[in-house]
Amino acid sequence: MPSSAPVQGRGGLHMKRTLASFSLEGKVGVVTGGARGLGLVMGQGIVISGGNLAIVDMNKEEAERQAAELVEVFRKENPGASKVPKVTAHYADVSNADSVQECIDDVIKEHGKIDHLVTSAGFTENYNAIDYPIDRIRKLWAVNVDGTYLFAITVAKHLMERKAPGSMVFIGSMSGSIVNVPQPQAPYNSAKAAVRHLAASLAVEWAHAGIRVNCISPGYMLTALTEKILDEKPDLKRHWTSLIPQGKMGQPADLMGPVTFLLSDASQYVTGADVRVDGGYTLT
């Protein structure tokens, strides 16, 4: 068979062979904040790798639209696939424990189980620390930190009840390890540092149950929201880019590989790690 011909892999139809351990076939992944931005792209990575996906978002209508789109794209790109991943949409206020539990119950009802979790729900704001409204700080922490914690413990309980192994990936930020300049964002930086250390702490606490917990810390990524901001502030984009050794900002698709690796059996001896995807920014 010519090397360029399609071959049937465990995770779907592939143009090139890869390790079978990277496949997510037969697994169910939950992605919070999954209807847009980085969460949507990482969810797409799960689907491409053969996994079933539950998109969780405050905007359920958008989540439903993206779920249908992901399935349609998979069918077009994998016409010979024997199985099409199941993609569903779910609502959750990640900062509310009852809402999180209802969401997880809904996912289990639809998929029968959960194997993987990616916590991508989060946001940032730029205020000088002395001017930052306390209600905004509490909201930022509620989404970025509380939301990560609530989804993690709820999924962990499910995995422990099943006596099943699982893998979680928390989406942190390089801001959890360094202080960004010139924009002021002390509470966000602190929140992402909490997410990173939460991943390490839970990795140790849940290792006995076969639950792995890792963190991905993106650098400056060209999401639609970021591009809108930088269109208005071209000097800021030049400043950021000048500090990145690779000389460019990242693309959301750059997170597909790391998240698939950390969710899959290819990383079964990796837990508590912080994978920085930043073009070398934090090395300088």
CATH of the domain at 143: 3.40.50.720
Across 60-70, average pLDDT: 96
Which one of 23, 167, 173, 175 is the catalytic residue?
Answer: 173
| Residue 12, in any domain of the structure | no
pLDDT band (50, 70, 90) for residue 79: confident
Which one of 192, 217, 220, 267 is the catalytic residue?
Answer: 192
Distance CA 102, CA 98 (A): 6
Distance CA 181, CA 112 (A): 45
| Residue 244, in any domain of the structure | no
| Domain of 269, in residue numbers | 21-222+253-277
| Residue 10, in any domain of the structure | no
> Residue 237 corresponds to which tokens in the numbers above?
């984009």
| pLDDT computed for residue 16 by the predictor | 63
Distance CA 135, CA 179 (A): 23
Handedness of CA 127, 131, 136, 138 (dihedral sign): positive
Is 173 tagged catalytic?
A: yes
> pTM of the full predicted structure?
0.91
Number of folded domains that form the chain: 1
| Residue 240, in any domain of the structure | no
| Residue 13, in any domain of the structure | no
pLDDT tens digit string along 228-257? Answer: 888 888 888 888 999 999 999 999 999 999
Handedness of CA 114, 43, 57, 274 (dihedral sign): positive
